[in-house]
């Protein structure tokens, strides 16, 4: 029987790889844009925030690496994707903030909160405290995303809407077919309280819950279609 600790190990491995990509993404945002008011420029203070995020992500990589080792996981044990980094390479900094800082770092809030609760339930103090510290950083990163998105798009509602649409796409993609959701039975539960602290309002949170339910339906339809094709073949 696959046990909860094994699921936690694969999730921890995914977090480790995600942290590497988040570090790379924040570093790129510091480097890719000149300082200025244009759509392909960013304020110097945003660069400072991204530099601070690099510092946090580098620490998270180290923590995740050691936690994975503590949980008996070998680096490279699971296959991973590079979608987080791809979202971090968007040409528009506003879309990077929406896709990475709000959608993906928001997901990190949900995952870290789930892992923290798993550590509490299983009596694992190491996992619980490490996740708690990383969770605090993620709330800060999402808050930076929420604040800067508002500031960069204050005079351009269409740009803000494009960024929020990108965020919705990433949110749905990373609900893992409804695995992350707002329902009681969701393995990774939407961490409403921490997301509120990071600048999400109730309407946005309800929308993320709805997107996850849609993704769950899409996953079931796709699985049924695969089975049908297999039977025909």
For another protein, which is the closer residue by CB, 36 or 72? 72
What is the distance between the alpha carbons of residues 33 and 82, in angstroms, rounded to a whole number? 22
- Please tell me whether residue 120 binds another protein under the rule CB under 8 A: no
- Please tell me whether residue 77 binds another protein under the rule CB under 8 A: yes
For another protein, which is the closer residue by CB, 71 or 107? 71
- Residue 120's alpha-carbon distances to 3, 16, 21, 113, 130, in angstroms, are 17, 20, 28, 10, 12
Let me know the angle formed at the C-alpha of 3 by 14 and 212, rounded to the nearest 5 degrees. 50
* 150, 193, 220, 226: residue in contact with another protein (rule CB under 8 A): 226
What is the distance between the alpha carbons of residues 119 and 121, in angstroms, rounded to a whole number? 6
- Please tell me whether residue 55 binds another protein under the rule CB under 8 A: no
What is the closest distance, in whole angstroms, from the C-beta atom of residue 17 to another protein in the complex?
12
For another protein, which is the closer residue by CB, 37 or 79? 79
- Please tell me whether residue 71 binds another protein under the rule CB under 8 A: yes
Going along 40-120, which residue ranges are E strands?
Answer: 41-42
# chain residues binding another protein, by CB under 8 A? 28
What is the distance between the alpha carbons of residues 217 and 21, in angstroms, rounded to a whole number? 29
- Please tell me whether residue 185 binds another protein under the rule CB under 8 A: no
Distance of CA 51 to the CA centre of its chain: 18
Binding site residues, another protein, CB under 8 A:
1-6, 9-10, 69-74, 76-79, 122-126, 223, 226-227, 230, 233
């Amino acid at each position: 029987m696959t046990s909860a600790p094994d699921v936690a190990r694969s999730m921890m491995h995914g977090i480790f790889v995600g942290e590497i990509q988040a570090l790379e993404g924040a570093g790129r945002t510091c480097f890719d844009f000149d300082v200025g008011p244009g759509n392909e420029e960013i304020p110097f203070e945003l660069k400072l925030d991204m530099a601070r995020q690099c510092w946090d992500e580098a620490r998270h990589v180290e923590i995740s690496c050691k936690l994975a080792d503590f949980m008996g996981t070998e680096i490279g044990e699971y296959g991973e994707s590079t979608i987080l980094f791809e979202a971090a390479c968007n040409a528009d900094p506003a879309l990077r903030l929406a896709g990475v800082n709000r959608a993906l770092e928001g997901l990190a809030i949900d995952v870290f909160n789930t892992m923290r609760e798993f550590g509490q339930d299983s009596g694992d103090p190491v996992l619980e405290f490490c996740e708690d510290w990383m969770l605090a950083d993620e709330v800060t990163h999402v808050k930076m995303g929420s604040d800067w998105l508002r500031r960069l798009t204050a005079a351009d509602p269409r740009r803000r809407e494009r960024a929020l649409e990108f965020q919705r796409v990433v949110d749905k993609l990373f609900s893992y077919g409804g695995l992350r959701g707002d329902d009681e039975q969701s393995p990774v539960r939407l961490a409403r309280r921490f997301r509120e602290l990071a600048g999400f309002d109730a309407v946005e949170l309800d929308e993320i819950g709805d997107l996850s339910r849609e993704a769950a339906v899409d996953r079931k339809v796709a699985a049924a279609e695969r089975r049908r094709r297999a039977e025909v073949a």
